[in-house]
Amino acid sequence: MTSAADRYARAGVNLAVADSLKVKIGELVESTRGPQVLSNRGGFGGLFDVAALPEKNPVLVASTDGVGTKLKLAVAVGRYRGVGHDIVNHCVNDILVCGARPLFFLDYLGFGRLDPVVAPEVVAGIAEACRVAGCALLGGETAEMPGVYSEGDFDLVGTIVGVVARESILDGRRVRPGQTLLGLPSSGLHTNGYSLARRIVAEAGLSLDEPIAGDARPLAEILLAPHRSYLGELRPLLQEHRVCALAHITGGGFEGNVSRVLPSGVGVDIDAASWTPPPIFALLARLGGVSQAEMHRVFNMGVGMVVIVEESEAARCLAALPGSRVIGHTNADGGVRVRF
């Protein structure tokens, strides 16, 4: 007689593989946890003690995001750990712009068929990034859903919760005309624009194993460079209240993201000639016939975070942020203008 487990496996869900993965993943999760985590791994929910938080008048900040079609590239070349860093660092940056530090993270991994190699590699990357960020991997979900995801493909989504003192919240209220915009370099495309980038690469017939002009790394390594976290660099400046606002440059580029932290009546003027984007961006623009205006809407163009500071603080902040440079200023004109 066929068991229920056998019938389930023939339908596409293998409980034995899932149970084995829980053990491997559980060990990775445990490596990120500190005394504030009160729940045991494998429970229905994660418990985190906020009573001992050092922030005065603490406010919780939450964000959810996904890695997107960068996953297709990871699958194509069989490199998975970096996308774990991608999802954590992207989420860390999203709450960092509110002035928050991360407390805990939860992940969702959805497969057409659970892969006993891929899943632990992804979670290992998540755990590594969580440890660097001082963030507990509190829990998550690994789902096997044949018919929803194609076999060989997977989805990766993360949710982060952080904390900021109420008086330290960055919400744009300190932004005014006459301030300075600093740009922090990205590590590459981060996690945005991959649908366009992958199409350009495929149509041009580029080899993922070969370097490109101006960059000695293989193209796959360039495109899969993990999303950079800015927490370590910016945290000291936030604690000293030297930052007026932050904008994480993701989908929508400068116009779509810097505008989110500007109060009414305040605009910014960004000089795109003030930095040189990494060679991958010029290659994509040339091969894809993509205008500079569209490139700056789709990609970060080598600037992953914009820091708005008082002009009097600019020199000090530049010295504290390696690789940063002045890329523009705030004005009273309103809107976001990028000059090419």
Mean pLDDT check: name the lowest of 140-154, 156-170, 189-203: 140-154
Average confidence score pLDDT of the chain: 94
Q: What pLDDT is attached to residue 196?
A: 98
Domains and CATH numbers, the chain: 13-45+54-168 (3.30.1330.10), 180-339 (3.90.650.10)
pLDDT band, very low/low/confident/very high, at 151 (cuts 50, 70, 90): confident
Of all helices (H) and strands (E), which one includes residue 229? none
Strand segments, DSSP code E, in 197-266 are: 211-212, 215-218, 245-248
* pLDDT, tens digit, 9 for 90 and up, residues 7-24: 677 666 666 666 777 777
User: For 262-303, what is each residue's pLDDT tens digit?
Assistant: 999 999 999 999 999 999 999 999 999 999 999 999 999 999
What pTM does this model have?
Answer: 0.93
299 alpha carbon, distance to own chain's centre: 13
Residue 43 — pLDDT band, cuts 50, 70, 90? confident
Average pLDDT over residues 119-144: 96
Burial of 268-302, coded b for 16+ CB within 10 Å and e otherwise, reads: bbbbbeebebbebbebbbeebebeeeebbbbbbbb
Instruction: Report, as an integer, the average pLDDT of 150-167.
Output: 96
Q: Please tell me the predicted confidence (pLDDT) of residue 22.
A: 73
Q: How big is the CA angle at 165 (ends 160 and 169), to the nearest 5 degrees? A: 80
Q: Which residue has the tokens 């060989």?
A: 152
